[in-house]
Amino acid sequence: MKFYSGLDEALGDDVATTHVTLEMRKITKEFPGVKALDDVSIAVRRGDIHAICGENGAGKSTLMKVLSGVYPHGTFEGQIVLDGHHVEFRDLKASEHAGIVIIHQELALIPELSVTENIFLGNEVARSGFIDWDEAHIRTLALLARVGLNVNPNTQVKALGVGQQQMVEIAKALSKDVRLLILDEPTSALNEEDSANLLELLRGLKGRGLTSIMISHKLNEIAEIADAVTIIRDGVTVETLNVEDGPLDEDRIIRGMVGRSLESRFPAHTPVIGQTFFEVRGWTVEDPQVPGRLVCKGSDFFVRRGEIVGFAGVMGAGRTELARSVFGRSYGIYRSGTILIDGVPVSLPTVQAAISHRIAYVPEDRKTHGMNLLDTIRKTIVSAGLDKITHLAMIDEDAEFAAAEAYRSSLRIKTPDVNEGVAKLSGGNQQKVVLGKWMFTEPELLILDEPTRGIDVGAKYEIYGLIQRLAEAGKGVIVISSELPEVLGLCDRIYAVCEGRIAGVVDRDEADQEKLMRLMTTTTASAA
């Protein structure tokens, strides 16, 4: 049996296709105890931007891994037809040779290498057997310009933000002879401006004949850019909606995804706000890599009991740096500032000190800072509160299992067993595990950094409800989000961060996107 390695090699009978560049027919993929895909079929027309929607765990990413050879031929049932030829990919390299390039939701860059080195890794620009770094540098500049990223090509990737790293991934894909580009949650790490730039980039690529498949939970973006939408629910194809049959409607997509209507994106909530219990004054932190550069500049903010407080800002504004530095000084070099809990100054020099003072932090980058991918679900959920299940220096395994099961059920983590490894979960379910991990510590203040990144609309609704219930129980919640509609719909007060400073604060009743954007982008802005 030969494996497909180019469009000139076909397996089986040719398929008469005029406008369809890709067909996936009756794809079935099983894992132990789980049927991830069940007779899923999809047809993508040449030159289209085709979106795939579904709840977390519906099978979207699994389907794309089948297509790209991550799950090789023979590990699934069904057929793949590319430009009229039946194809079988043994690995990712074979699919890339055919012009299929996938950008996964979780980035695959090497932090210690430069932007140029990452872009051309495995696809080096060579001359006479040696890498031509000058030419690679020139090509990198051109690729970065195409994706709208203004960074030095020699910069190490670890010095870039998550959103910037995503743009490097896209530039890397464009450096190859790509004919079908697959993007798994491409804007999940981007702010609104960068997301808009990316969508415009996809339109430009479409204009030059490139076909794209886009997995996204941002239904407004899908409605704006997609030519067709295939909806998958519980591993089964529900339907495909074509824009030529009428404008794509977010509510229509939601009904297909969750099997019901969501009349409101946010649960009804009447806040009952108490006294200030957490306060930060004059918080100043230096960049750990650039001496003298301040990432937090005299920040002042407070949180009251029962209050949901939002932090909004463009990429690089310093929201995450502020949150991580407050949470046990886990980022940057502390220079000055005071933290008060119930009016009493406290010292939180370590993460353990922050946890002991009932503070929890759910990070934006779940795989780097949120969990150990070698651990199981049950071990991850209890990992930040081992003292609660430890007796005489021994972990009570029954208590560990009970805690993990409780959060698996309450957070609707899609897994057959809490003994499964977290690496096997979808991105959204991994996020739920990290949320459960910090909920287990019973915090009085919960800091959520991009809590719904990569989360489908139904799961978002559930997490919003959980946040509101925490507030109703008298806890304080901080929500950092790149999505302005999210902070506007969820938060009682919103701080705007600009270039390491808190530029202003707006009450929910007075807030709108225009007012927040003005504060987020004007360094001379003052508190509203």
For residue 366, is pLDDT > 90?
no
CA atoms within 13 A on the CB side of 255: 10
169 touches 108 (CB < 8 A) = yes
Of the two residues 378 and 107, the one the predictor is more confident about is 378
Residues 6+ positions from 17 with CB-CB distance below 8 Å: 23, 81, 83, 84
Tokens at residue 156, please? 């190490």
Tokens at residue 341, please? 């809990």
Superfamily of the domain at 276-358+444-528: P-loop containing nucleotide triphosphate hydrolases (3.40.50.300)
454 touches 429 (CB < 8 A) = no
**Coil/strand/helix, residue 416:** coil
For residue 105, is pLDDT > 80?
no
How confident is residue 6, by pLDDT bands cut at 50, 70 and 90? very low
308 touches 451 (CB < 8 A) = no
322 touches 329 (CB < 8 A) = no
Tokens at residue 209, please? 């004949």
**Coil/strand/helix, residue 67:** helix
> What DSSP assignment string belongs to 344-355?
EEE---SHHHHH
Residues 6+ positions from 207 with CB-CB distance below 8 Å: none
Task: For residues 359 and 363, give the distance between their C-alpha atoms in angstroms, rounded to a whole number.
Answer: 13
How confident is residue 191, by pLDDT bands cut at 50, 70 and 90? low
The structural domains of the chain, with segments of one domain joined by +, span: 1-99+177-259, 113-176, 276-358+444-528, 365-442
Residues 387-418 pLDDT 10s = 889 888 899 999 999 999 998 988 888 888 89
231 touches 239 (CB < 8 A) = yes
Strand order in the sheet with 445-449: 359-362, 445-449, 476-480, 308-312, 493-498, 501-507
CA atoms within 13 A on the CB side of 472: 10
Give the closest residue to 156 by CA, choosing from 308, 291, 290: 290
First to last CA, the chain: 69
User: Is-same-fold flag (1-99+177-259; 276-358+444-528)?
Assistant: yes
- Residue 163 is classified by DSSP as H
Determine which helix (DSSP H) or strand (DSSP E) holds 405, and give its type and residue range: helix 397-410
CB atoms within 10 A of CB 443: 22
In the chain, the percentage of residues whose pLDDT exceeds 90 is 50
CA atoms within 13 A on the CB side of 372: 10
68 touches 95 (CB < 8 A) = yes
Residues 162-188 pLDDT 10s = 678 878 988 888 888 788 999 988 877
197 touches 221 (CB < 8 A) = no
In the chain, the percentage of residues whose pLDDT exceeds 70 is 93
Task: For residues 112 and 155, give the distance between their C-alpha atoms in angstroms, rounded to a whole number.
Answer: 9
Q: Most confidently modeled of 31-35, 170-174, 463-467, 502-506?
A: 502-506
Which CATH class for the 1-99+177-259 domain?
Answer: alpha beta
Q: Which residues of 177-212 are buried (b: 16+ CB within 10 A; e: fewer)?
A: ebbbbbbbbbbbbbbbebbebbbebbeebbeeebbb
Average pLDDT, the chain: 86
Residues 435-479 pLDDT 10s = 899 999 999 999 999 888 767 777 788 889 889 999 999 999 999
310 touches 493 (CB < 8 A) = yes
Residue type at 210 in one-letter notation:
L
How confident is residue 1, by pLDDT bands cut at 50, 70 and 90? very low
Question: Rounded to the nearest 5°, which phi and psi values hold at 136?
Answer: -60, -40
Give the closest residue to 470 by CA, choosing from 309, 348, 234, 252: 309
How confident is residue 523, by pLDDT bands cut at 50, 70 and 90? low
Provide the pLDDT for residue 372: 84
**Coil/strand/helix, residue 48:** coil
317 touches 323 (CB < 8 A) = no
Q: Most confidently modeled of 99-108, 144-153, 284-293, 321-330?
A: 321-330
For residue 429, is pLDDT > 90?
no
438 touches 446 (CB < 8 A) = yes
Residue type at 143 in one-letter notation:
L
Three-class SS of 274-298: CCEEEEEEEEEEECCCCCCCEEEEE
**Coil/strand/helix, residue 7:** coil
Give the closest residue to 77 by CA, choosing from 37, 43, 42: 37
- C-alpha 418: how far from its chain's center? 23
How confident is residue 261, by pLDDT bands cut at 50, 70 and 90? low
Tokens at residue 82, please? 């590319």
Of the two residues 399 and 526, the one the predictor is more confident about is 399
